[in-house]
Amino acid sequence: MSGSKIDTKSLLQLVKQATADGKITASAADNIEIWLTEDRYARYAEQVAEHITSEKWKELDDAFWTIIPFGTGGRRGKMYPIGSNAINERTIGESAQGLAEYVKETVSGDLSCAIAYDTRHRSREFAELCARIMVSNGFKVYFLDDYRSTPELSFLVRFKKCSCGIMVTASHNPPSDNAVKVYWSTGGQVMPPHDKQIIDRVMNVQEIPLGVEFDAAVADGKVVICTAETDDAFINAVQQQKFDGPRNLKILYSPLHGVGASAVMPALAADNFKNVAIFGPHKEPSGDFPNVPGHVSNPENPAVFDAIIEQAKTDGSELILATDPDCDRVGCAAPKTMDVTGEWGTFTGNQIGVLLADHVLSERKKGGGLTPEHYVVKTLVTTEMVRRIADSYGVRTCGNLQVGFKWIGGTMDAEGPDKFLFGCEESHGYLVGQYARDKDAAVAAMLLAELAANCKQEGKSLHEKLESLWWQHGYHAERLLNQKMPGSEGMANMQKLMGKFREAPPQSVGGLKLTAVRDYQNDTITTPDGKSSPLNGPKGNMVILDLEDGNYVAVRPSGTEPKVKFYMFSYVPAEQLSLLDAAQEEMEARLDAFEKDLVAFADSV
């Protein structure tokens, strides 16, 4: 078809017939027509036409059945050269252009943007594209010219006092995906009121200016390569969060084929950990994530650690750390006892948060710097054990937050960063210090190493340390269940399910009676007798089912993937603990019962 005029009328007739035959959805047909007929999509019309004439209806339906949302943090999805529901040059370009338009309208003075990227396929290409668009809009761009972490991008925004920032990464998603995360001048992901205003600009982008080539912009000083300078300043900021103590620990670290070696290794070295090795099979930066289970580099998945643990048992390593592809989340494994050749176990995100909270607060208390004005921050779906630990040290907890680390960053600025001690979320995200407004696996890895070294000196394992905290604060067990609901039908079912939880919730879960429904979308608390009262909570599409004896379940649709998330929480107060093993078995059985009932409820929609 190259070189010939596209017969739009005939192509649209083929699309109409395919819709009638059930080969594509009506919404896909509507978006295909837009890409075939509107001038802003002219450069893609030939590719769309080739798909139609080749009858690639499944590919077309996947790529066009909806418009990939620009959520409150950015745009994430499967890469495909064309399509409104795919990550490609157009949808990435719209994201950068929409951001540029809004910042120009909102910010006075010189404009600048920080840009970084991870090891995924096309990440460098998309980063250069974003840089060209921002320069074409009159921005100076500060560019990290190699694979770097998301928290380093957050740091760079603050370091260079940028108007905004763009990180090209899809975090721990499969190799097929990519994304952009958008940052405000605070170094945090965009928040209200900016988020909705940016979304509006993104969805209405017409022209995407590309008036300058990347290399030419570098030569002209409009794109400033600042990698080495930023690396030094970032690692210096991370190591300022360290605490004194023993460093006699052998560590095995995995970047899971991502950017992490650029941040974690220098951070550990700056904290004087000398015996650190990178796990060879995961060392290579690769967007295919070839040597991890299912090619998904997610430290939340215990299976990621299996091969690393086998090496640790043979080489005498005493702690395993692993970070996701953009190095903003950290996972951890350690031997159950002091015998490194014996049984090992991983930690959940909540458990790592508990260990780090106690470590930071304990060390700060030793320094005599804790006051009642100091505070920790967590989200509503992060374990309440963090709050109980904070209470024991006499500091505040800001915990009435929706899911997403941007709310933790926003709370730091609202409450005053000078009194901020620690922020965490259950999905393995942690921050200590004021240098960034996003979670940072480098600082978390450094502090976990310190804690493990302290424990070793005391003759106990990290797992034994966690057990001692359970005895002190009560046994807490949490579990996350992801209920996948893919496709256009899945999105409709997600909405139906959330509606059912609000209007006709289960009266018991796992044998425990429902005591209240907290609806964060409608700001209400409703009891089983139908009485409602106002809810003092952050607005969001989430429902929490309060159950007997301090147990509860949170339900929310994922903001980035087609699934509903169930967060389950069980609890035995410290004064009721007699046998820890028995409590663990009882709570695991309770969580099993929760899961069974929640799946059945979701399947009934």
Active site residues: 171
Query: How far apart are the C-alpha atoms of 383 and 378, rounded to whole Å?
Result: 8
426 near 380, Cβ under 8 Å? no
548 near 592, Cβ under 8 Å? no
* Structure token pair of residue 25: 């959805």
User: What is the edge-to-edge ordering of all strands in the sheet holding 177-184?
Assistant: 74-78, 177-184, 164-168, 112-117, 140-143, 223-225
Q: Among 104, 106, 66, 58, which Cα is nearest to 86's?
A: 66
Which residues make beta-bridge pairs with 141? 113, 223
Q: Among 312, 250, 245, which Cα is nearest to 275's?
A: 250
Sequence-distant (6+) residues with CB within 8 A of 120 are: 168, 169, 170, 175, 177, 178, 287, 325
Which residues make beta-bridge pairs with 568? 479, 553
Antiparallel, parallel or unpaired: β 251-254 and 319-323: parallel
* Structure token pair of residue 478: 């949490």
Question: Phi-psi category of 390—alpha, beta or left, where left has phi over 0 and alpha has psi -120 to 50?
Answer: alpha
Peptide bond connecting 193 to the previous residue in cis, omega within 30 degrees of 0: yes
261 near 255, Cβ under 8 Å? yes
Cα torsion angle, 127, 128, 133, 135, sign: positive
344 near 312, Cβ under 8 Å? yes
Sequence-distant (6+) residues with CB within 8 A of 519 are: 502, 525, 526, 535, 543
Residue 142 CB burial class (10 angstroms; 0-12, 13-18, ≥19)? buried
Q: What's the CA angle centered on 505, arms 502 and 509, to 5 degrees?
A: 135
DSSP summary character for residue 515: E
347 near 170, Cβ under 8 Å? no
Q: Where are the beta strands (DSSP E) in 380-498?
A: 396-398, 420-425, 429-431, 475-484
Query: How far apart are the C-alpha atoms of 40 and 153, rounded to whole Å?
Result: 31
Alpha-carbon distances, residue 137 vs 11, 47, 126 (angstroms): 36, 28, 17
Q: What dihedral angle (degrees, nearest 10) is formed by the CA atoms of 494, 496, 501, 502?
A: 120
